[in-house]
Amino acid sequence: MIAAQSYIIDCDHGIEVGKLIQKQENSVKPIKIGTGVWVAAGAKILNGVTLCDGS
């Protein structure tokens, strides 16, 4: 179950100093959400995260 206003974001931009963000490569990593997972309202789930079954 995923509640309202939750964010699931599988990518991020680079953080190289002196280089425009739009010129930097994106970092993309999978997000794994198991069965029976409850995601609370307003939660932020970022790239590379694994939520195990029942969590």
Q: Is the model's pLDDT at 17 over the cut of 90?
A: yes
Query: For residue 20, what are the domain limits?
Result: 7-51
To the nearest whole percent, how much of the chain has pLDDT over 70?
Answer: 100
Q: How many domains does the chain have?
A: 1
Mean pLDDT of 4-27: 92
pLDDT (tens digit per residue) in 31-51? 999 999 999 999 999 999 999
Q: Within a domain: residue 1?
A: no
Q: Within a domain: residue 14?
A: yes
To the nearest whole percent, how much of the chain has pLDDT over 90?
Answer: 80
pTM of the model: 0.77
Among 34, 27, 28, 26, CA closest to 50: 34
Alpha-carbon span 42 to 39, nearest angstrom = 9
Within 8 A by CB and 6+ apart from 45, the residues are 6, 7, 8, 9, 31, 33, 39, 51
Q: Within a domain: residue 35?
A: yes
Cβ burial, residue 22 (10 Å; 0-12/13-18/19+): exposed
